[in-house]
Structure formats: C-alpha cells, structure tokens
C-alpha cells in the first residue's frame, strides 16, 4: 500500500485528474477514482495533463465509496470540504491514510462532509473554493511532510 492514498469522488474535469495523477506518481501515492467520471480516462486532455507519468501511478477505479470501504475496512479516511471549520493541518497523518476529494462543481455529499473526519483548507472569506488539483497538492504534501516520502 502507498504511504498515502488520494481518492477522487466523481471527478469532472480531465485536466485536474491528469494533474493529480502526475502528483501521485511524483509522491508515490495511489489514486482511487470513485463513481462516475465526468470524462474518459483516454481523453486527450487527461492524458496530456498527466504527461508521461501514467505508467508511474497506481490508479484504481471503483464503482462506489462502499467498494473502497469494503476493500479497506480498517482504512482511515479524511474528507476535504469547504463546509467545516476543522483544518487539514490538525490531522496527524499516518501511512496508508485516505484523503478524499469531491467533484469540482459540487463537492462531496453531506454524509461525508458531516463526518468527524471532514477537514478544510483555509481561504479568505467570500471565496468559494480552490482548484481541485491545488487542493490535493496542499493536503498531500502536508501528509508527506509528516510521514515522509
């Protein structure tokens, strides 16, 4: 298992997913794509964003979060959202943790963002959200800072 696991729940924008795949290759994270994707993995935009890093990342496509939970019943999951005041910097990351991000236009469903493990990246008041690939990079590298590469 990877030191950290990045989970994209129903991602919508191919360039973000390609960029995140490249980030996962560079930091040794596994990438889990959950549910219906808003694009094809063979899209030229997805491929171009990931450049030649595709062979260096372990990508797992699953139908639902339930399938991921079944695969990792003892997994530790953190859910990133703008709908909580608890900061991602308060997490004490451990090897094998799962960091879950929602779709770009709507975020994660309430059942995840109301979880005890929901966390946020601070932003200036009045701003809606950060770009998904930027958010993944911010949180992934905090995990790496804590547990090592």
Q: Does domain 4-147 have CATH number 3.40.50.300?
A: no
How does strand 30-34 pair with strand 59-62?
parallel
pLDDT digits (tens, 9 = 90+) for 59-81: 999 999 999 999 999 999 999 99
Do the Cβ atoms of 142 and 122 come closer than 8 Å?
Answer: no
Domain assignments of the chain as residue spans, ordered by start: 4-147
Instruction: Please give the model's pTM, rounded to 2 decimal places.
Output: 0.92
Instruction: pLDDT band for 126, please (50, 70, 90 cuts).
Output: confident
Do the Cβ atoms of 64 and 93 come closer than 8 Å?
Answer: no
Give the residue carrying structure tokens 């608890």: 86
Residues constituting the chain: 149
């Amino acid at each position: 298992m990877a030191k950290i696991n990045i989970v994209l729940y129903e991602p919508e924008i191919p360039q973000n997913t390609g960029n995140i795949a490249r980030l996962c290759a560079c930091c040794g994270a596994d990438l889990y794509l959950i549910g219906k994707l808003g694009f094809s993995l063979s899209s030229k935009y997805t491929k171009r964003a990931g450049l030649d890093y595709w062979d260096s990342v372990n990508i797992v496509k699953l139908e639902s979060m339930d399938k991921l939970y079944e695969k990792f019943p003892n997994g530790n999951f953190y859910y990133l959202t703008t709908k909580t005041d608890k900061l991602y910097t308060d997490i004490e990351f451990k090897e094998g943790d799962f960091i879950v991000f929602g779709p770009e236009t709507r975020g994660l469903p309430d059942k995840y963002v109301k979880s005890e493990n929901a966390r946020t990246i601070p932003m200036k008041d009045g701003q809606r959200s950060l770009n998904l690939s930027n958010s993944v990079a911010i949180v992934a590298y905090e995990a790496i800072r804590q547990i090592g590469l």
